[in-house]
A = this chain, B = another copy of it.
Amino acid sequence: MPITRQICADLDSQDALAPARALFDLPEGLIYLDGNSLGALPNAVSRRVAAVVREQWGRDLIRSWNAHNWISLPERVGARIAGIVGAEPGSVVAADSTSVNLFKLAAAALRLQAPRRVVLTEQGDFPTDVYILQGLTEFMGAGVELRVVERDRLAEALTDDVALLLLSHVHYKTAAAHPMALLCARARAVGALTLWDLSHSAGVLDVRLERDGADFAVGCGYKYINGGPGAPAFLYVAPRLQEVFRSPLSGWMGHARPFGFEGDYQPAPGVLRGLCGTPPVLSLAALDEALGVFEGLSMSDLERKARALGDLFIALVEQCCPDMALASPRQADARGGHVSLAHAEGYPVMQALIAAGVIGDFRAPETLRFGFSPLYVRYVDVWDAVARLAAILRRERWREPRFHIPAVVT
Contacts and interface: CB of A to CB of B under 8 A. Distances in A.
In this complex, the interface size class of chain A, counting residues with CB under 8 Å from chain B, is: 35 or more
B41 A58 contact: yes
A123 B261 CA distance: 12
Given A127-B262, A228-B281, A265-B134, A57 B71 contact: no
Interface string A9-53: 000000000000000010100101010011011000110011001
A364 B261 contact: yes
Nearest to A67: B407
B408 A99 contact: no
A100 B276 contact: yes
Interface string A128-152: 1011101110111000000010000
A126 B230 CA distance: 28
Q: Which 7 A-B residue pairings sit nearest by Cβ, starting from the closest? A: A97-B277, A135-B250, A99-B251, A99-B277, A280-B283, A229-B281, A139-B248
Contacts of A97: 96, 251, 276-279
Contacts of A408: 65-66, 71, 259
Given A62-B34, A65-B408, A127-B262, A132 B251 contact: yes
A194 interface: no
A350 B220 CA distance: 40
A59 interface: yes
A372 interface: no
A276 B41 CA distance: 25
A135 to B, nearest CB: 3
A280 B63 CA distance: 23
A61 B34 contact: yes
Interface string A348-385: 00000010000101011000000000000000000000
A129 to B, nearest CB: 9
Given A38-B62, A46-B50, A65-B229, 13 more contacts: A25-B58, A41-B58, A65-B408, A66-B408, A71-B409, A99-B249, A127-B252, A131-B251, A135-B246, A139-B248, A229-B278, A229-B282, A231-B280
A98 B283 contact: no
Contacts of A260: 364
Contacts of A140: 139-140
A232 B229 CA distance: 14
Contact of A131 (B96, B220, B222, B255): B255
